[in-house]
Structure 1
Amino acid sequence: MAFDADEEILQDFLIEAGEILEKLSEQLVDLEQHPDDSDLLNAIFRGFHTVKGGAGFLQLEALVNCCHSAENVFDTLRNHKRQVTAELMDVVLEALDNVNAMFDQVRNREEPTPAPDTLIEALDQLARPESETAAAEPAPEPEPAASNAGQEDQGDITDEEFERLLDALADGQGAPEAAPVPAGEPDTAAVAAAGGDDITDDEFEALLDQLHGKGQFSGATDTPEQAPASPSGGSSDLISDDEFESLLDELHGKGGSPSAAAADAAPAAPAKKVEQPEKTKKPVPEESKKPAPVPAREPAKPAAAAREATPAGETTVRVDTKRLDDIMNMVGELVLVRNRLQRLGSESEDEHMHKAVANLDVVTTDLQSAVMQTRMQPIKKVFGRFPRVVRDLARNMKKEVNLVMHGEDTDLDKNLVEALSDPLVHLVRNSVDHGVEAPDVREQAGKPRAGTVTLSAEQEGDHILLSIADDGAGMDANVLRRKAVEKGLFEQDAADRLTDNECYNLIFAAGFSTKEQISDVSGRGVGMDVVKTRIGQLNGQINIVSEKGKGTSIIIKVPLTLAIMPTLMIMLGDQSFALPLVNVVEIFHLDLTKTNIVDGKECVVVREKVFPLFHIKRWLVHGAAGQAEPENAHVVIVAMGTKQVGFVVDQLVGQEEVVIKPLGRALQGTPGMAGATITGDGRIALIIDVPSLLQHYG
C-alpha cells in the first residue's frame, strides 16, 4: 500500500474514483433495465478499469483484484458471450459494495480489506462465456482478453502484459518474422528465444520495426518525407512530439487516455495492430513500404485535440469549502452594511446618495448570488443513490418497482444536499414498503404489476420543492384515526374532528406506524418522525397529499441556502424580532374581541379554517404578561411542519434579508431562538425558531 505516495496523486485518485463509483451505482441499476445497451456496458467496463488503474498505481492490491474480476465480467457481457440477469447483477452489485467499502478505507488511510474469496470466485465464474462448460479449463484466458480490451479502451498496459506480448512474439514468430529484419540488425526473436532477458537498444528498435514496419521513425535517410519533421537534421535519432504521439497511437489505439470518456469506440481499430503480427505474418513487410501517410495523417489530430483540451483543463480550480464558507460570511456582513446604508439613504434627500446606495444594492445582490452559486451542487448527488435503494428493496420484498426521477440538475446549497440525504432515503423506502402494493394485489386492482415511485425536484423562487410520489394504495384516513386513538394520541371525539389531511400528517408523530408487523425496513414508527424533525431544522415544510387506491405524494419545501435568510421583521413592544419568511403563510389585521375558545385554546376562524392564537409577546418580552391587551393587532399565520398557528404581533416592519449570527454564551440554548442579526436601523434582532418556540411555550 502506497500511502506514502505523493499526497496530490492520492487526492486525485480519491476524487476521480469517487465520482466514477457514484456513477457506477446508477449505471448498474440502469443496465438491468436496458441489458442490451452497449454504450452502458462499455461505460461500466471503463469505470471499473479506471478505478483498477489508479488503485494499481497506489499498490492497493485488494481493490485491484476486485475491480479486475468485475471488469472481466463486463468484458464478457460486451462481447455478447453472456446475458445480463438479475442474479448476475446481484453479484456485481455486491462487488461494487465491496469496492466502495475498500475505497472508504483508503480515504481514511486504512489498509483495504480484500473482498471475500467466494465473491471473487463468483465473478470469475460469470466472466466465462455461458456456452463454456465447467470441465473446460481456460481459466487464464479471460485475463489477456480483459487486458487487451482494457488496452483498446484505456490505452495503457502493465509491465506484465508487455512481457507477455514479447514472449508471444518470440515463441510464435521467430523464424517467419526474421525475414523483414534488415541485414546487419540482430534477430530479436532469436535472441529472445535463446533465453536472453535483456535486449539492447538496437534489438528493441528491430522489434518495433517488426511490429510496425521499418522506416517510420528511423531517421530521414530511409524516408525522405520525414526529413523536415526532425528538428536537428536528417541523421538525428530524436523524434518530434508529433511522431511520438503517432507511435503511441499505433501501439495502443488513438485517443486512449483514461479520462477520455468519448474514446470508447475509436481505439478499437488501431489497437488491433499490436495483436496482428501473431496471426498475419506476411503483411508486415508491406506495411513498411508505405509508412509516410501514418505520421502525415495522425499526429495532427492528437496535437489539435491537445490544444483544444488545454484551456478546458485550466478553467477549473479546486477550492476548500472552508474558504467558500469564509467568503459567504463576508458577503453576509456586506449584506448587513447594505441594509444599514439603505435605511440611511431613505432618510436622506441627497439624490447622489440614493444613486450610490442603489448601485451598491445591485452589486451586493449580484455578488451574493455569485458566491451562493459556488456553494451550489446538483441534487443529483442525493438522487444518484436511489435507483440502487429502490432496486434492492423491491427485490427483497418481491415487488416490481420503477423509479422515475425529474429535475436532477436542480442546484441547492452543499450543506442542504448533505442534510437532505437521510430524510429522502427514509421517504423513498417508505414509498416502496408502505405505498406500492405487491404485483398480484396491483393486478387485481386493475393496475400494472410494476409500481412507480417518482422523485422530483424544482426551484420555486428562493426555495426548492421536492416531491416523492407513488401510485400505490394511498392512505386510509379512518385507519389513521383508529390508530391515533389506540396509541392514546387523541380522544375519540377529537380524532373524529380531524380532517383527512390532518390524519395523513399523523404519520409524523413519534412512534406512530400503521404496520402490523415490524420488519428490518419499517414498522417502528421512527423514520417519519426523524424526517419531520430534520426538515424542521432546515427551516423547511413537509406536506402530504394522498388518495385511497391512487397513491401518495409527500412534498418538501426547503430554502435554497441556510447562510442568508429572508425574514419578516416584527415588533413586540419596542423590541425587534425576525420571523423566517419560509414559515410565514399570510398576514392580516384582527379584531381581538372576535376570537373563540376551542378545547380551552384561543382560536380565530379565517375562511372557515380554525387557527390557534398565541400572544408571543407574553413569552418573549419581559413584563408584557401583565399589560392590558389591545383590541386590534396584526396576526401572522405561520406554518410549523404540518401545523399552522397564528402569532399576535404589535407591528409589522417589513421583509429583510438577514445573516444568522450565533447567540452569545449567555443566551445559548434559549428556547425559541435560532440566532441573532443586525437590522437595517443598526439594532440587534433575535431570530425566532418557530418549531422550538411552540414546543417550549405552546
Structure 2
Amino acid sequence: MDELLEQFLIEGPEQVQQAGEALLALEARPEDAALVDQAFRAIHTLKGSVGLFDLPAMAEVLHVAEDLLGARRDGRLTLSRAATDVLIAATGQTERWLDALRVTGGALPDDAGDVARALSQRLRGFLVPGTPVAGADNGRVEAALSDTHWVESLFREQASDAARHSVVTALRYTPDAGCYFRGEDPIALARAVPDLLAFRVFRRPDAPPASDAYDPYACDLVVELLSAAPVEAVKVPFRFMPDQIQVLSWSPPSPGPSIGPSPTGLEGPRGLRVDASRVDTLVALVDELVVAKNALADLAARMADGLAPDVAARIMGDRQAMLDRLIGRLHRTVTDIRLVPVLPLLRRFPRMVREMAAAIGKEADLVVDGQEVQADKGIVEGLFEPLTHLLRNAVDHGVEPAAERVAAGKPERARIGLTVGREGDRMVIEVTDDGRGMDPDRIRRTAAARGVVPAATLAELPDDQVLDLVFRPGFSTAEAVTVLSGRGVGMDAVRAAVGRLGGGVGLRSTVGAGTTVRLTLPMNLVLTKVLVVSVGDDRYGLPLDGVIETVRVTRDRVLPIRAGRAFVLRDTAVPLLALSDLLDQPADDVREGEAVRAVIVRVDGALLAVEVGTFLGRHDVVLRPMAGLLAAMPGLLGTTLLGDGGLLMVLDLPGLIAALHRDGDRLGGGRP
C-alpha cells in the first residue's frame, strides 16, 4: 500500500470522528459557531486529503458537505435538523469508505458512485431547494430534495429489509384526479414496480374531509414505495405520467455494524502512534539484550576451553538472572507501547446509536464519559463488537417508544450512557439506559416456555441469576424480529467476545428504571495464571481465576444419576462431567483403585466438576486470543507457548459446557 495512503488511513478516521462529534453537539447547540468551525475544518481537511487520490465518489460527498457547512459558517443559511441528519450520514459513509480502503488497499466499493450521488443530492437539496432529481429528467420533483421525511417514515414503518441495501429507490406517485376516466388503476400501476420493499397508500392532504360527499370518480390517493431496483426500472410503469411522480435515490440509515469483526480489526495495515520516549526505551533495552547475548557466547567459549562445571553453573545463574530482568523490562515496555486511549473508540458510538434509534422510530442520545483510560490496542479493538451488541439491545429492547416514555413520566428522548473507568489494574466499562428494565418474571416465563431451565428450578432461582439467563445462546425475549435484533443473537456473543479478551460481564436491572451492563477487562496483555491438565496424550490450560478448587475423589463415591454421574462434596451433590467428553476425545485409561481427578467450576450459579486425566502444574502465560475461523468457536479462550515449545490451548469450561447443553446433551454429565 502507498505510504501516503497509509498515512491518510491513520489520520482520516480522526477527522471523521471530529466532524461527527461536532455535528452531534450542534443538535443541542445549533448556534455554537465553534462547533460549526470544528466540523468545517475536519471536512475540509478530509476533502483536501482525498484530492491526493483517485476517489471521486468520496471527494464529491465531502465537497458538497463542505459547501453546506461553509454556507452555515458564513451565515448564508441555518442548519435544520434534517440537514444535520444528512451531514451525519455523510460522515458515517465516509468512515465506511475508509474501512473499505483499508481492506482493498485503495479501492472503493462498486456501489460507491451510486451512494455518493444519492448523498450529494440530499446535501445539495439544502443549498438549492427544488433542484430536479438526477435520473428524473422527464418530470419535475414535486417537493424540494430536502423533503425526505416521507422516505424515512416509510422505511421505519415497513422496510427493515431495506437496511441491507446501500441505496434504494423511493417513489411518490400522486395520480391525476381524473385517472379513473382513462381506465387507469393507480394501485396496480404502482404494484408493477419491481423489487418492492415497502408500499403505502393514503389520501392526499388537500382531499375533501371524509364527512363530505364522496366522489367515486375522482382519485385523491397518494402512493409511496421503496424499491431495490434502480431509478430507471422504477420509472418504467409511469413512463406516460412523468409529471405525477417524484423519484429519488436514498441511502437507508445503517443500524450499525452487523454481528462480526470490528471495522478496526479489518485486514490490512494498521497504524499505532507511539511516543518517541517509549521507542528510545525499547532501543536501550535491545542494546542491553545484545550485551547479554554476547555474555552467553563468551561463557560458551570458556566452557569449551575447560571451565570448571561449578564455576560455569554459577556464571550461568548470573547470566540467567540478568536475562530475566531484561525480558521483564522488555515485556513491560512493549506492553506500554501498545497502550492506546479507550475514549476515542467510545466516541464513535453516538452517531451509530442515533442511526439505530432512527431506524426503528425511537429517539435516543448516547452520552460518553469517563476517565482517560489506556488499554492494549488489541483489547480496545476487540471491544467494538460487544459494545455494538449492547448498544443495539439498549436501543431496541431497553428504551421505550416516545409515547410510552411520556406516559411513564420520563423524558421523550431516551438517555443511554457509555462510561469507562478503572478499578485497580482492571478497566470497567458500563452501558446504562433509562428504559423499561428487565422483568425477572418475564424471563422466567420465557425460559420455562423454551425449556432453557426446568420450571421448578426457575421458581427457586434468585432474580440476579434469572437475569443471567439472557446470556444463554439463542435466548431472547423479543416478541418480533426487527432491523436491529430479536434473532436470539446478542448477549451470548457479548459474553463470548469479552471472555476472549480476558474479561467478564455483569448485569443489573430495575423494572421501569433501566438496565446496566458492566464489563471488566484487563488493561493489557498481562501474564495469565493457568492450570495445565491432560486428556489422554494432549495438554490443555484452564484459567485459575475460573477454577474454584481441585479435588481427588475415590471412584466408589461417584454414582450414576440418570444419564450422568455425580458425587457429594461437603454435603452438596456435584454433577461430574468428563473433559474428554466435552472435547469429544477418547477418555484416559482408568487404573484399578485410581481416584478421579476433577476441577470444580461454577456454571449458571451451580457447582460442576470436570474430570481430567492428570494435573501438570501451574504456569504464568501470555494468552493470545483465537483468530480467524477459530475466533467464533465456543470454549476456546486462546493459545500460548510452553517452555518446551509446545502449543497450549486454554479452555473456557463454562463455554464448553454451554455448547454441550445447547447441542442437546444433558448437563448431568457424560454423553447420553
Deviations 1:223-278 (A, max 9, x none): xxxxxxxxxxxxxxxxxxxxxxxxxxxxxxxxxxxxxxxxxxxxxxxxxxxxxxxx
Cα shift at 1:430: 0.3
- 1:108-187 to 2 correspondence within 5 Å? 108=104, 109-110=106-107, 113=113, 115-117=115-117, 119-127=119-127
Q: What is the CA distance between 1:59 and its match in structure 2? A: 5.2
Partner of 1:485: 448
Aligned partner (choices 652, 655, 677) of residue 641 of structure 2? 677
Corresponding residue for 1:384?
347
- In percent, how many aligned pairs have the same letter? 28
1:127: how far off? 4.0
Tell me the matched-pair count. Answer: 479
Specify the alignment match of 1:568 in structure 2.
530
Of 90-99 and 584-593, deviating more is 584-593
Q: CA deviation at 1:688?
A: 3.6
Shift of 1:647: 4.7
Match among 50, 56, 59 for residue 51 of structure 2:
56
Unaligned runs of 5+ in 2: 130-272, 297-309, 628-632, 661-668
Q: Residue 673 and residue 584 in structure 1: after superposition, are their counterparts in 2 closer, same or farther (change >3 A)? A: closer
Match of 1:584 in 2: 546
Match of residue 628 from structure 1 = 593
Q: Is the 8 A contact 1:661 1:676 kept in 2?
A: no
Matched, 1:527 2:522: no
Q: Which residue of the partner structure matches residue 248 of structure 1?
A: none
Residue deviations 1:145-184, cap 9 Å, x none? xxxxxxxxxxxxxxxxxxxxxxxxxxxxxxxxxxxxxxxx
Matches within 5 A, 1:353-432: 359-407=322-370, 409-432=372-395
Change (3 A) 1:348 1:398: farther
Deviates more, 1:25-34 or 1:479-488: 25-34
Paired residues of 1:378 and 1:408 also in contact (CA < 8 A): no
2:68 aligned partner: 73
**Counterpart-to-counterpart distance in 1, 2:345 and 2:506:** 20
Distance in 2 of aligned mates of 1:530 and 1:551: 21
Return the alpha-carbon distance in structure 1 between the equivalents of residues 638 and 56 of structure 2: 50
- 2:593 maps to amino acid: A
Letter in 1 for 2:11: E
| Equivalent position to 2:651, from 659, 684, 689 | 689
Q: 1:463-498: per-residue Cα shift (whole Å, max 9, x none)?
A: 433322222221111111111122232332233233
Match of 2:25 in 1: 30
Distance 2:330 2:26 in 1: 43
Determine helix, strand or coil for the equivalent of 1:58.
Answer: coil
Q: 1:673 to 1:452 in 2, by over 3 A?
A: closer
Matched residue type, 1:22: Q
Asked whether the 8 Å contact 1:673–1:689 carries over to 2, the reply is yes
Decide whether aligned partners of structure 1 residues 66 and 651 sit closer, same or farther in structure 2, where only a CA change above 3 A counts. closer
Equivalent residues in 2 for 1:290-301 (5 A)? none
Aligned partner of residue 516 in structure 1, secondary structure: coil
Shift of 1:65: 2.9
Residue 479 of structure 2 aligns with which residue?
516
1:662 and 1:481, CA in 2 relative to 1: closer, same or farther beyond 3 A? closer
Query: Which runs of structure 2 are paired with 1:305-316 in the superposition (5 Å)?
Result: none
Amino acid at match of 1:531: V
**What are the Cα deviations for residues 258-309 of structure 1, in whole angstroms up to 9, with x where unaligned?**
xxxxxxxxxxxxxxxxxxxxxxxxxxxxxxxxxxxxxxxxxxxxxxxxxxxx
Shift of 1:571: 5.8
Flag the 1:596–1:440 CA change in 2: closer, same or farther, 3 A. Answer: farther
Cα pair 1:456 1:466 within 8 Å, conserved: yes
Deviations 1:533-558 (A, max 9, x none): 33344444323222222222222334
Alignment of 1:255-654 (within 5 A): 359-407=322-370, 409-460=372-423, 463-561=426-524, 565-570=527-532, 579-581=541-543, 583-584=545-546, 586-587=548-549, 602=566, 612-614=575-577, 616=579, 623-628=588-593, 630=595, 636-638=599-601, 645-647=608-610, 653-654=617-618
Query: How many angstroms does 1:368 deviate by?
Result: 0.5
Preserved contact between residue 568 and residue 581 of structure 1 (Cα < 8 Å): yes
**CA contact 1:381–1:417 (8 Å) conserved in 2:** no
Using a 3 Å threshold, how does the CA distance of structure 1 residues 92 and 507 change in structure 2: closer, same or farther?
same
Superposition TM-score, scaled by structure 2 size: 0.59
Q: 1 or 2, which has the higher helix percentage?
A: 1
CA contact (8 A) 1:470 1:553 kept: yes
Deviations 1:31-59 (A, max 9, x none): 22332332221111011111222223435
**Structure 1 pair 93–675 and aligned structure 2 pair: CA distance change class (3 A):** closer
The change in CA–CA distance for 1:615 and 1:15 in structure 2 (over 3 A counts) is closer
Quick one: distance in 2 between partners of 1:419 and 1:566? Answer: 18
Q: Deviations over 1:621-641 (max 9, x none)?
A: 96454553549x7x7554669
- Work out whether 1:83 is the aligned partner of 2:78: yes
Do the aligned residues in 1 keep the contact of 2:553 with 2:595 (CA within 8 Å)?
A: no
**87, 100, 118: which one aligns with 1:92:** 87
Deviation string 1:558-616 (CA, Å, 9 cap, x unpaired) is 44455x6412335669999664547425447788799999886536678x998655565
